[in-house]
Structure 1
Amino acid sequence: MNNKAIITSALPYANGEIHLGHVASTYLPADVTTRFLKLNGVEAYYVCASDDFGTPILIQSEKEGKTPAEYVAHWNKRDYDDFSAFNIQFDYFYKTSSPENIAFVQDVFKKLNDAGHIYEQEIIQFYCNNDKKFLPDRYVKGTCPHCKAEDQYSDLCESCGRVPEEIADPKCSLCGQVPTKEKTKHYFFKLKNFGDSLTKWLEENTHLQKDVKKYVQNWIKSGLIDWDITRDITWGVPVPLDDAKDKVFYGWFDNHLAYISTALKFLNDKGIDGKEFWNSADIYHFIGKDIVYHHYLFLPAMRLGINSEYKLPDYIPTRGHLTLQGKKISKSRNWYIGLKDFLEFYPADYLRYYLVSINPYSQDDLNFDWDDFTTRINSELIGNLGNFVNRALGFTKKAFDGKVPKIESFDEKDSEAEEKIKNLASELGSLLEQNHLDRALKKIMEFSSFFNTYFQHKEPWTKGPGTANCVYLSVNAARSISIAIFPFLPESAQKIWTQLGLCGNVKDSSWSGISEFGVPAGHTLGVASPLFVKVEESDIEQHKKQLGSFEK
């Protein structure tokens, strides 16, 4: 494991609230991984930024009577507050409209231009005579020429994940009218020239998901298309050329460069050489499957185009979309759950537990189901983990006045329990290093279940032989759980730590400490109390009724 890491996740678009679909595939897995790396002694930093540019923001800010800068500043703060409430712990959260990112983007463009990777070309672009404007990107909808999926945006087919060269059956997404075609000049990035170097990078990077890598390689074989990187709007990073005064960069040209510019800003401000750190660290970009094209083709090609001045990603963990009660999430139909709304009803750890447990390291879609959420929280989190910790600590308080007893000779069951603790750190670590977060969480629950059974088998309440061993091992197992669940459930981890009567913060522990016996005989525990509160089915029925209604 590298001793340095920079973690990023797809940037939240500064045009509306964060909902459950946003956090499931990118922010939560990135946060869990960062916390795990830090416990392992890695100098790891999780940086992110709001994605501030683009036509939708320009239009929406006009509707609300705000400048685009005022509009995105509101959402930048709101998004950060919502993430913080969910215990997504960024080391730094910035914005693509920052002066640092604007300067960085323009510098990268100049280098690409000087290297011969940029050219200007007159193109025919959709123009809406009704709205009197060129229609970039998401303001043209039609049929994907590759997979024939209907109602797709012109810059990305959400069905097959490809970027259409030209959308079929186009319509203005503002007014629904068929647009005309008008001449305009745009700047293009020579993506076609990078087929061989992209293939080489894909073949050499052994950390990338094999299934994703395979179909990206097929895209390359079928022929890459040069990339239109400018737009005819006023809100964006200005193109730094005298004859391009009315043009800005396409959002996908500038936003992933904010991964680098934000990291550099943060590190340089800390007195660390940002560029040197970036190039010596493991680089993680957590994304959803809908933006594979951008992160496996555009992003690496641009870095290759400036001679890999900033290293390409080592890991691009890619996960599927979240559906809700079996249906696609839709804000327009109110078929979504806002993160802020959810956290008004349930602790962040409930949602963190559920989303990790249903989310494999694959592109398979996952489904949030209220009934399944209820079952998993009540039977797994409360009935298993919460039950074990409470009974182990509560019994010690009651039977031994809160003092951990001295151990005696271990019997076979005690030795088995001891081995479970000794092996847990390495077993979990291996899964987390491979990004199998769901499997690691399941392993913790199996560990807790084992100790529930062990405690029941030993019957310490009879105060027979082996009672002291049972209490000693169970209390230390609770300590192991406290550290092990910290990346997943940070608030609950600290509660257990405090109930164990341990000093400081669980986040300052080491990962290897999971398998140590850190609660010695004679140690006095803190106050034991239930970690979790049951999810009531009557409340869940009310939450279900809220979906699809406009009374929220």
Structure 2
Amino acid sequence: MRNGFLRGQETSSPGVASPGCGTEVRRCGGVAGAASLWITATPIVPRGELHLGHLAGPYVAADVLARFLRADGESVLFTTGIADHAGSVELRALSTGRTPTDVAYGHGVAIEADLVRARVEFDHIARPRHPGGCSHWVQNVVGRLHAEGIVVPRVRPLPYCEPCGRWLHGVQVAGGCPHCGTPTHAGACRACGRPGEGGDLRDPRCSRCGAGAGLRRVRRLYLLLEPFRADLAAHWGRGGLPSRVAALCEGLAEEGLPDVAVSHPGRWGVPVRVEGFEDQVVDAEFEAVALQLCGHGAGDEPLPGRAVRFHGLGHAFYDAVLLPALLMERGVEPDQTYVTRESYRLAPDGGTGLWALDLLNEFGSDTVRRHVLEISGAERRSGFRPERLERTRQVLDGTWNAWLSTLFADVRAECGGRAPDVAPGGPGWHTELRRLTAAVADLRQAYGVEGFDPRRAVALLDEVVRSVTGFAEAGSYERHRPGRAERHLALISAQLSVASALTSWARPVMPEGADRLAAVLRVPVGRPVGIEALEPPPHGTPVVAPREPVFGF
């Protein structure tokens, strides 16, 4: 597997930072070059704070997969980027009287902090504007592709707003999708996934002032995708495509692949270093794809052999078409799986009342993560309903935390606050054990790459808690029967073994509570999701109930 694309064009000028992924990097285990699996999530646009729609999209789901695989011992690289140069950043700056730099930097820092609070742990977060970041590397890539004839000049119509005196691109121009008619912006349509560049929108208008946009012909740089059609069709034919992405790719394979805009007139973005295009910047959508590659490290490390791309349908074209084409251009045969996770539909104000930090502070990361995993999905965007989030908290309090509180009280009252020296057992334990064995097998499938389904994982975890609660209630009479004390202790030991298992089984979904429970039981953190975790703490281990709920707030 070659790595030439990641190296870019090694023509760094004296005094210019060499290509790299930037200084804003968090490492959470593993070495980039040693990773066997690469997980990416669509770069986040820093036009505002992180909101619940982001978390309901690719980010929490991708973190679930990364946590599961790491616990299994697989070397994983988990990356994203902050898309500083998205058109909506410039639009927000214009509407608030700030500079785009201030908007991108301030919100970008807040977004990274909120991701940490949500327990979404990336190895790399690539940012183009930070010192030593990706801007220089992106410039080199565009220059090299132009020199090789992959990126070429084309004259095409582009919307222009007379009242604002501005060329319009990305979210700065709104209209009807030329393919399905749905209201959208330039770029990929969120409804059908088809790409557009603005000049083909129906009834285009300026997103800033609302005026109708005229079309002016302008010479820009485009990447030609049609030469990659046969190789891409073979890539798509190997499977791994969600249904809606498969429909998108099949249509493109039949009808022909579009040219992809690489540059547009403007000042906000990475300047193009190609003669004749000095007044243009790299198109934000193309840059967002490059950010994913830059997020790998942009060094001499080989790419991981496999990749899993998490995205919403609005970014599927770039992940499933443009990105593999860029890899193929460098002789890399992509082995990729695609996971579509649609975000919440937000209110017109952009999500007031849905800011991630507010909800995380009120409900805790366990409640928020679990909620977005069981509500959002791959096929459609759902609207946010506050009562559902409250209901998620009630489920955790009424089932998970209620059972654990009763268990901790029994340990204190019956065992002196320590794990009993009795093997797990009790009436019906063998039947319960068979259920748990089947549940963890299903759970591993729901967590794994091939059958990834976090909504199913949440349901299975609830099933485990409900089942062990019923088992405990059915056997609770043992404590009152003469000479049955040891059997009741076996019942407590059985429940402690299930609680111990949940520190690993539930950790991909609710890492904060799982780690809190592991601390109470004094068992290792981050064990594999397997039946081996179904083991009570060693005899005599102190079991002291925490003051706060174990899961959620």
Q: TM-score interval w.r.t. the shorter chain?
A: 0.7 to 0.9
d(CA) in 1 for partners of 2:384, 2:162: 42
Higher helix share: 1
Equivalent residue number for residue 304 of structure 2:
279
2:340 maps to which of 313, 318, 323: 318
Matched, 1:87 2:105: no
- Per-residue CA deviation, residues 11-33 of structure 1 (Å, 9 max, x unaligned), is 11121111111110211101111
**Helix, strand or coil at the partner of 2:208:** coil
**Helix, strand or coil at the partner of 2:142:** helix
Q: Is the 8 A contact 1:495 1:531 kept in 2?
A: no
Displacement, 1:245? 0.8
Q: Is the 8 A contact 1:425 1:514 kept in 2?
A: no
- Per-residue CA deviation, residues 434-453 of structure 1 (Å, 9 max, x unaligned), is 21111112111111111111
d(CA) in 2 for partners of 1:56, 1:16: 10
Q: Report which stretch shifted further, 460-469 or 338-347.
A: 460-469
d(CA) in 1 for partners of 2:91, 2:111: 20
After TM superposition, the score normalised by the length of structure 1 is 0.85
2:414 maps to which of 394, 399, 403: 399
Q: Is the 8 A contact 2:58 2:342 kept in 1?
A: no
Q: Give me the identity figure in percent.
A: 19
Displacement, 1:197? 1.2
Equivalent residue number for residue 198 of structure 1:
232
1:305 maps to which of 284, 308, 329: 329
d(CA) in 2 for partners of 1:195, 1:368: 39
Equivalent residue number for residue 49 of structure 1:
81
Equivalent residue number for residue 33 of structure 1:
65
d(CA) in 2 for partners of 1:3, 1:156: 31
Equivalent residue number for residue 184 of structure 1:
218
After TM superposition, the score normalised by the length of structure 2 is 0.85
Aligned pairs for 1:203-218 within 5 A: 203-204=237-238, 206-218=239-251
Equivalent residue number for residue 401 of structure 2:
386
- Per-residue CA deviation, residues 70-118 of structure 1 (Å, 9 max, x unaligned), is 4322111111111112221222323133444223323332343343222
Aligned pairs for 1:49-448 within 5 A: 49-61=81-93, 66-98=98-130, 99-149=132-182, 151-164=183-196, 166-204=200-238, 206-264=239-297, 274=301, 276=302, 278-280=303-305, 282-308=306-332, 312=334, 314-322=336-344, 328-332=345-349, 336-360=353-377, 362-378=378-394, 380-407=395-422, 413-433=428-448, 434-448=451-465
d(CA) in 1 for partners of 2:159, 2:473: 71
Matched, 1:498 2:513: no
- Per-residue CA deviation, residues 18-52 of structure 1 (Å, 9 max, x unaligned), is 11111102111011111111111112232222101
Q: Report which stretch shifted further, 338-347 or 73-82.
A: 338-347
Q: Tell me the amino acid that sits aligned with residue 22 of structure 1.
A: H
Change (3 A) 1:369 1:181: closer
Aligned pairs for 1:462-501 within 5 A: 462=480, 464=484, 466-500=487-521
- Per-residue CA deviation, residues 310-361 of structure 1 (Å, 9 max, x unaligned), is x535222102232xxxxx412427665111221232212111121112234x
**Helix, strand or coil at the partner of 2:407:** helix
Q: Is the 8 A contact 1:52 1:95 kept in 2?
A: yes
Equivalent residue number for residue 548 of structure 1:
none
- Per-residue CA deviation, residues 131-161 of structure 1 (Å, 9 max, x unaligned), is 2222223232222222223x42133333322
- Per-residue CA deviation, residues 282-319 of structure 1 (Å, 9 max, x unaligned), is 312211122222222222222222322xx535222102
Equivalent residue number for residue 510 of structure 1:
528
Q: Tell me the amino acid that sits aligned with residue 172 of structure 1.
A: C
**Helix, strand or coil at the partner of 2:216:** strand
Q: Tell me the amino acid that sits aligned with residue 385 of structure 2.
A: D
Unaligned 5+ runs, structure 1: 323-327, 536-552
Q: Report which stretch shifted further, 208-217 or 36-45.
A: 208-217
Matched, 1:523 2:531: no
Q: Tell me the amino acid that sits aligned with residue 279 of structure 1.
A: P
Q: Tell me the amino acid that sits aligned with residue 516 of structure 2.
A: K
d(CA) in 1 for partners of 2:252, 2:400: 46
**Helix, strand or coil at the partner of 2:338:** coil
Change (3 A) 1:110 1:20: same
Q: Is the 8 A contact 1:19 1:339 kept in 2?
A: yes
Change (3 A) 1:389 1:3: farther
d(CA) in 2 for partners of 1:514, 1:369: 38
Q: Is the 8 A contact 1:208 1:314 kept in 2?
A: no
d(CA) in 1 for partners of 2:541, 2:190: 57
Displacement, 1:421? 4.5
| RMSD value, Cα | 2.6
d(CA) in 1 for partners of 2:516, 2:351: 35
**Helix, strand or coil at the partner of 2:122:** coil
Q: Is the 8 A contact 2:143 2:274 kept in 1?
A: no
d(CA) in 1 for partners of 2:350, 2:167: 28
**Helix, strand or coil at the partner of 1:45:** strand
Q: Tell me the amino acid that sits aligned with residue 168 of structure 2.
A: L
d(CA) in 2 for partners of 1:111, 1:22: 34
- Per-residue CA deviation, residues 251-310 of structure 1 (Å, 9 max, x unaligned), is 111112111212215xx6xxxx53x1x233x312211122222222222222222322xx
Equivalent residue number for residue 13 of structure 1:
45
Displacement, 1:513? 6.6
Displacement, 1:534? 9.6
**Helix, strand or coil at the partner of 1:41:** coil
d(CA) in 2 for partners of 1:404, 1:119: 70
Change (3 A) 1:411 1:335: closer
Q: Is the 8 A contact 1:112 1:305 kept in 2?
A: no
**Helix, strand or coil at the partner of 1:75:** helix
Q: Is the 8 A contact 2:446 2:452 kept in 1?
A: yes
